Structure 1
């Protein structure tokens, strides 16, 4: 047996299979958990970026909603003035095509 030659990878593999099964199992568990941590962090960053984008869109829609409310109120005020002019002051709309110019002498 003194003249036998063994390859180093074969000797290491044999030792691991005989004496290091627990260490090999722990190494595999560490590698799997490391990959899962990296994947989770990546997904979390993507979701955080998506949330930020949605918050920006929400703020833009809130601003647009406020502007529409202001516009509605402004148009409502105009119709209110028109209604008061018609009901209380008995004013009427004038059709420009039927308007006659009266010149006083």
Structure 2
């Protein structure tokens, strides 16, 4: 009995894989999914590493600015500087308690 049916090559391969090659097909799909997940994870890791580096640089800049502000605060709060400004700009001077006449209001 000769059959004149024509079968496509893709159909024959698909039937053969489904009939005899289920395990290799599942392993191939698993390997492809795993490869995509590895690439995605590596990409996200690189992005997070770059973001971490940027945040570390920003932290260092803020730390330097904070230290400069502490130095500036110490310089501005220096007693000799305050005394000099009070004497020169505000014409203030030291008061001698022995010569002070205090008027107390009651």
Give the TM-score category using the shorter length.
0.7 to 0.9
Find the counterpart in structure 2 of residue 26 from structure 1: 27
Write out the 4+ residue segments of structure 1 that deviate beyond 4 Å after TM superposition: none
Q: Deviations over 1:63-87 (max 9, x none)?
A: 101100110110111xx11359x8x
Structure 2 residues not aligned, in runs of 5+: 93-106
**Structure 2 residue 72 is matched with structure 1 residue 71:** yes
- TM, length-normalised to structure 1: 0.74
Q: CA RMSD in A?
A: 2.4
**Structure 2 residue 54 is matched with structure 1 residue 53:** yes
Q: Give the 3-state SS of the residue equivalent to 2:42 in structure 1.
A: helix
Find the counterpart in structure 2 of residue 35 from structure 1: 36
- TM, length-normalised to structure 2: 0.74
Q: How many angstroms does 1:6 deviate by?
A: 1.6
The one of 72, 76, 94 equivalent to 2:91 is 94
Q: Deviations over 1:4-57 (max 9, x none)?
A: 322100110010010000011001101110110011011001100100100110
Between the aligned partners of 1:57 and 1:28, the Cα distance in structure 2 is 44
Between the aligned partners of 1:4 and 1:69, the Cα distance in structure 2 is 91
Find the counterpart in structure 1 of residue 18 from structure 2: 17
